[in-house]
């Protein structure tokens, strides 16, 4: 069972989107993340570096048609942290009662 735990690193909206995309796949190319979220290269790079610094993302470069491409994947720690963060958000949502 996943322990519900708020994670401020993941909670930032762009990083939350990146983690959500990466959680659904084994890995994703930098340009796919950038284009799916609709942000600039520099913004994508900044957030990936933050996630990498936290140990949540691992980035690798591989050549493709003679050009290096950057790929990102969630680490085991990243998957665990993301699952815990989602569990905490679900827990918070379940205790919220709408006002009549």
Q: What single string gives the DSSP state of each residue in 78-94?
A: HHHHHHHHHHHHHHHHH
pLDDT, one tens digit for every residue, the chain (100 residues):
789 999 999 999 999 999 999 999 999 999 999 999 999 999 999 999 999 999 999 999 987 777 889 999 999 999 999 999 999 999 999 997 676 5
CA dist 19 and 99 (Å) reads 32
pTM for the full predicted model = 0.90
pLDDT of residue 99: 67
């Amino acid at each position: 069972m996943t322990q519900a735990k708020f994670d401020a690193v993941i909670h930032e909206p762009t990083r939350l989107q990146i983690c959500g995309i990466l959680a659904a796949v084994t890995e994703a190319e930098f340009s796919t993340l950038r284009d799916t979220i609709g942000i600039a290269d520099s913004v994508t790079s900044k957030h990936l570096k933050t996630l990498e610094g936290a140990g949540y993302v691992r980035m690798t470069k591989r050549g493709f048609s003679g050009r290096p491409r950057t790929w990102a994947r969630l680490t085991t720690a990243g998957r665990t942290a993301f699952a815990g963060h989602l569990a905490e958000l679900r827990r918070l949502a379940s205790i919220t009662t709408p006002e009549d």
